A = this chain, B = another copy of it.
């Protein structure tokens, strides 16, 4: 059905998409009368549009709400189950794959443990195992996926290549998009893991709806990601939030201040920080001083970003954010002397799935883009195929 310029069919397509969008954003069943109010169309037109959407499979009828006065109205809901997307977190210690529906709700996940010394090909193999496990648990095939986004440590450029990595020796230069493309036919995106975590917090977590925020990954290697004007800020070459590379911030070495504490004696580097935070919480002066020193350095880099961007919120994520009750007040105190206005600081709420969930969010953005702004054409629900 070829449609030209400002055709009447175009108007119908617009109205159809507007109705579908209204149902999608309502996140609850709507009656025709409610849709009339939301779209501004007449009841007759909405009836036509809804019939077409139902016939194509985008929406489904649910049973009428009981206990209402008058003839009960039919209710329709957006079918979040017609498509699924995949979010993948390729971390140092684990690979996590999450399958979500079109509302971003987790359907199933698969997890494979790896470690710092896992070789590149083994890690890539673990990615497939996690994906397969998630797909099996979701009862889906790879060809059912409408989109996939993988998060990796390191700088990820526009072409999806991992260009700089510190944690994993042989990971630089890996072509994740190419690897995933061997078995996935849907559109694939690769992004930095902290950026995906920030996106997840802004969509599903503690920063829901905040337009400008700085996400701080606090851990042995701190990092940062930015949401600006409601969108993930990727930067020209993908290297945003790297203020920690400046020597004056001390970000590269600041975790050491925690590890030399007596409270951490004998513990593994992973354990050390938690022990020090616990000791500080219990009142150990040495541990408290170490936390303050850590917060002082963290505040230097954070202040640079806050003064540059004046965000509404700072979100604390990463391993150390589990001790936010100790770290957050220390960071707040340390930021005070640097900032004109200290933004709100809140700890992450999503936990260790946040990177994979952020990947799903990014893939869903792509699905929405395709659905709502691609020439306004309304098609049958189907998994899009990668073109390249």
Q: Nearest residue in B to A339 (C-beta to C-beta)? A: B245
Flag whether A246 is at the interface (Cβ < 8 A). yes
Tallying the copies of this chain within the complex gives 2
Complex: A45 Cα to B4 Cα, angstroms: 12
Q: Are A239 and B311 in contact (CB under 8 A)?
A: no
Q: Are B6 and A236 in contact (CB under 8 A)?
A: no
Complex: A289 Cα to B328 Cα, angstroms: 43
Complex: A235 Cα to B42 Cα, angstroms: 41
Flag whether A93 is at the interface (Cβ < 8 A). no
Flag whether A8 is at the interface (Cβ < 8 A). yes
Q: Are A229 and B226 in contact (CB under 8 A)?
A: no
For A141, what are the chain B residues with a Cβ–Cβ distance below 8 Å?
Answer: none
Complex: A341 Cα to B164 Cα, angstroms: 12
Q: Which of A97-105, A126-134, A297-305 contacts B (4 or more CB under 8 A)?
A: A297-305
Flag whether A5 is at the interface (Cβ < 8 A). yes
Chain A 35-52, CB within 8 Å of chain B: the 1/0 string? 000011110010000000
Flag whether A113 is at the interface (Cβ < 8 A). no
Q: Are B4 and A338 in contact (CB under 8 A)?
A: no
Within 8 A of B (CB), among A316-353: 338, 340-341, 343
Q: Are A304 and B246 in contact (CB under 8 A)?
A: yes
Q: Are A307 and B243 in contact (CB under 8 A)?
A: yes
Flag whether A10 is at the interface (Cβ < 8 A). yes
Complex: A378 Cα to B15 Cα, angstroms: 20
With beta carbons under 8 angstroms apart, the residue of B14, B212, B303 that contacts A235 is B212
Q: How far is the CB of A177 from chain B (nearest CB, A)?
A: 20
Chain A 220-238, CB within 8 Å of chain B: the 1/0 string? 0000101011010101111
A-B contact pairs, 6 of them (CB 8 A): A4-B42, A6-B15, A6-B18, A229-B229, A236-B312, A246-B338
Write the residues of chain A forming the contact surface with B, with a CB cutoff of 8 angstroms.
4-6, 8, 10-11, 14-15, 18, 39-42, 45, 155, 164, 212, 224, 226, 228-229, 231, 233, 235-243, 245-246, 248, 300, 303-305, 307-312, 338, 340-341, 343
